[in-house]
Amino acid sequence: METKQIFIDGKWVNSVSGETFVTVDPANGEPTAWIQRGNQEDINRAVKAARNAFEQDAWRDILPAERGRILLRMAQLIREKKDDLAKLETRDAGKPLSQSYADVEVAARYCEYYGGVADKILGETIPVRPDILDYTIREPMGVTAHIVPWNYPIQIATRSLAPALATGNTAVIKPAEDTPLTALCLAEIAQEAGVPDGVVNVVTGFGQEAGAALAKHPDIDQITFTGSVPTGIAVMKMAAENVKPITLELGGKSPNIVFADADLSEAADWVVRSIIQNGGQTCSAGSRLLVEKSVEKQFVELIVERMKRLRIGPGLEDPDLAAIVSEKQLNRIESYMQVARDENVTTVTGGYRVTGGSLSKGYFFAPTVFSNVRPDSRLAQEEVFGPVLVVIPFESVQEAVSLANHTEYGLVTAVWTTDINKAHFVASRVRSGQVFINNYGAGGGIEMPFGGYKKSGFGREKGLEALKHYTQLKNIALRIKP
């Protein structure tokens, strides 16, 4: 197996301890690579390199337009390497190959989008009084930390890295230990695109070691974290010790709200896609189906019919539903099957690990639908992070809104109806960072601000709104003497 090094100050190096760990292909349980197990000392080296790079003229004095051109070159290189990157992402995360290709394209688009706005980050003048010229400028935060989850490794790493670089920051990336391979490729791509040494650093390792060391490092100026609520709370506490700003994108229990007047066939297609994408291992997965009671039976039949046609297999064969990322995550999903039994819900379809033949050594789980689910139950409230859909009926618009808001999350909501007044009323009442009407964007395009209410986190990624998290505002007042 290949041994992967960490990337610090423009060089590929081993971890200080020399320890390594193994990544595994979720499709067959086979080891794929040896990865350096970075720790506090490696994080210290990476942060020092990023700090030095931030203070050096080689990065500080690059014109904004040139930063933009660097990002555009990164986008071009990502596209040139798309075949290798997509296959690597599938081997690492288990997802269908077509989804990996889509993730690689999104990574390129982040670089392209933020490359295009690098020289358009503007301040403003403020009329204070005739003898004062008052204006604002946006300056980079400094050294930014990027703690990346395992479900969309290349996409989410680039989601925060691109705006950070566009605004003149330097970066230390800590990818998830389950899926570190494409983040290491991003470091190589950044270097090839002309990013100066030390501006982008990638330290692989475990969350409790390298991740925690990065989150609590006193010389970090800003942290972006995507992951679970408990880990997000821990990262926020570490950041608070050093009074560091943080952007948190956490979990979700996102509802598809289907009214009886909707195009039920089209809605069923989208509902299925929204729960099986990446095996349901998506913070914005449509894991709750709120359906008007008069069409509940009909609509659930449409869902089941579509799920039974899904092809399940290794990601490189590009099935509809591929492997779960790890045995640990598969066990977590299976544990909720016992919760379902304890809560006495009805298993409409699925509810079991898929084994047999070429799938016997991998981590596969059947698409699952539960009905007769109580709104207050664990299945309705907790994030399973798998291809598991719970069905909850409603009888009025007000009840639909109440059920949609009846979790500690508020990331994405979809509304399915042909009544435009109803659609806008629901959109105005749900407590959700994104609302889709007659579609489900699962986070949406790179131009659309993305983030949550309540325990889904705070701050916004994507779009122009994200730039605010990687800059700080300075006000300058100049007195004009006659």
List active site positions: 249
C-alpha to C-alpha distance for 180 and 203, rounded to whole angstroms: 9
C-alpha to C-alpha distance for 442 and 412, rounded to whole angstroms: 8
Name residue, tokens 């010229």.
133
C-alpha to C-alpha distance for 362 and 95, rounded to whole angstroms: 12
Name residue, tokens 């799938």.
359
Token output for 49? 């390199």
C-alpha to C-alpha distance for 431 and 401, rounded to whole angstroms: 9
> 136 has which bridge partners?
475
Contact (CB, 8 A) for 462 and 444: yes
Rg (CA), the chain: 23
C-alpha to C-alpha distance for 230 and 125, rounded to whole angstroms: 42
Instruction: Write the DSSP symbol of residue 211.
Output: I
Cβ burial, residue 65 (10 Å; 0-12/13-18/19+): exposed
Distances (CA, A) of 396 to 259, 399, 461: 9, 5, 34
C-alpha to C-alpha distance for 411 and 409, rounded to whole angstroms: 6
Q: What H or E segment, with its residue span, contains residue 89?
A: helix 82-93
- What lies within 8 Å, CB to CB, of 170 at 6+ separation is 50, 51, 53, 54, 59, 142, 143, 144, 164, 198, 199, 200, 201
- What lies within 8 Å, CB to CB, of 195 at 6+ separation is 70, 74, 165
Q: Which residues of 175-263 form beta strands (DSSP E)?
A: 200-202, 222-226, 246-249, 255-258
Name which of 385, 402, 307, 300 is nearest 346 in CA terms: 300
